[in-house]
Amino acid sequence: MDSLITLESFVRSAQSASFSAAARRLGLTPAAVSQNVARLEARLGVRLFQRSTRGLTLTEPGERFLREVSGGLDTLQAAMANVTLAAERPSGVLKVSMAVVFGLGYLLPMMQEFLERYPDIVPDWHFDNRPVDLINEGFDAAIGGGFDLPSGLAARELSRVHVIPVASPSYLARITPPREPADLQHHEGILLRSPQTGRIRSWPLRNRAGEQVAIDMRPRMIVNDPEAVCHGAVLGLGIAFVGMMYAVPHLRSGALVRLLPDWYADIGPVSLYYAGHRQLSAKTRVFVDYIVSEFKRQDLARMFDASGAAASRAR
């Protein structure tokens, strides 16, 4: 880059026959332009200008050098301008990982306006219920929870992940509904086995008063996918602990009923992860900004909140 500035100082000085005029064009001081030309002359071992109080005159070697480099300089500057423009225009394949139901239910519906706004972006979405390695697997972004955050990655929290106990009306018709958390241990549960650890997930429930209690249900069946847990509850197979983002549509339709409405488990945030370096690509930057903005506009964080009034409206 220093060589390019030095070369441009020579060409613009030759075109205007003045260090001062070249300096105004380049946004430099006349002294800086003069020094750049002097360094170029020293590197080439020839004098390019005759200097006088009336201005600059090219020497014979200077005239020959100007003819040879002018076209190349213009070509190089055009190439640099084009690549900068391309980097600033959101375009290209955008590789993003997200959980299946979360992506289908909430993110895909956001995409029509996004694609209309950024027609040169091609989403390459991977629906997967696992934390991916953004860097080594070549993802531009990922949405989910439970990600490690090594150096070089940034995260924008979108909402908290609240889990609630639910059951179908048909299942509740066959049992005495639980009145307090301790009653759950007497009921059949659809339990989740963690795909990462292989352990059965347990859910320490809390309420708005700050009380907390650990819950263990009798296993009626065990699955390793959170959507399968939710679907099993809808089918009346037992009581299940289901994340609000999965439960909301079924609570609204009446397919599921929330049990112990004052109690829930907070298992951390769902966040948007991406490379945090300054040279973040335009396509990733606009995607991050758009998703964060849509979560706020649609008030999704409050919709997924099981602790207050928003949860009551979802029931």
DSSP per-residue codes, 139-163: -SEEEESS----TTEEEEEEEEEEE
Q: CB-side exposure of 247: number of CA atoms within 13 Å?
A: 31
pLDDT tier at 10, thresholds 50, 70, 90 = confident
User: 221-236: per-residue pLDDT in tens?
Assistant: 999 988 899 999 999 9
Q: Is 70 exceeded by the pLDDT of residue 85? A: no
Highest mean pLDDT among 123-137, 218-232, 276-290: 218-232
Beta-carbon neighbour count of residue 145 at 10 Å? 19
Highest mean pLDDT among 15-19, 75-79, 173-177, 278-282: 173-177
pLDDT in tens, 292-315: 999 999 999 999 999 864 444 444
C-alpha of 141 from chain center? 4
Give the burial class of 176: count Cβ atoms within 10 A of its Cβ; 0-12 exposed, 13-18 middle, 19 or more buried.
Answer: exposed
pLDDT in tens, 94-103: 999 998 888 9
Q: How confident is the model over 24-60, as pLDDT tens digits?
A: 888 889 899 999 999 989 988 999 998 887 778 899 8
Q: Which span out of 60-64, 73-77, 78-82, 150-154 was modeled with the highest average pLDDT?
A: 60-64
β-strands 141-144, 92-98 pairing: parallel
**Which residue shows structure tokens 């991977």?**
126
List the alpha helices (DSSP H) in the chain: 2-16, 19-26, 30-44, 60-88, 100-102, 111-117, 169-172, 226-234, 244-253, 282-297, 300-303, 309-314
What is the rounded average pLDDT for all residues in the chain? 86
Residue with tokens 């990733």: 284
Quick one: what percent of the chain has pLDDT higher than 90? Answer: 47
Q: What pLDDT score does 313 carry?
A: 43
Residues 245-260 pLDDT 10s:
999 999 999 999 999 9
1, pLDDT greater than 60: no
For the cut 60, the answer to whether the pLDDT of residue 82 exceeds it is no
pLDDT of residue 263: 95
Structure tokens at 277: 């370096």
The count of residues in the chain is 315
Element (H, E) at 240: strand 239-243
Residue among 1, 21, 52, 53 at smallest CA distance from 11: 21
Whether 210 has a pLDDT exceeding 50, the answer reads yes
pLDDT value at residue 315: 45
DSSP helix, strand, coil percent of the chain (3-state; round to 5): 45, 25, 30
Task: Tell me how far CA of residue 211 lies from CA of 171, 181, 206, 264, in angstroms.
Answer: 28, 11, 5, 11
What's the pLDDT score for residue 86? 52
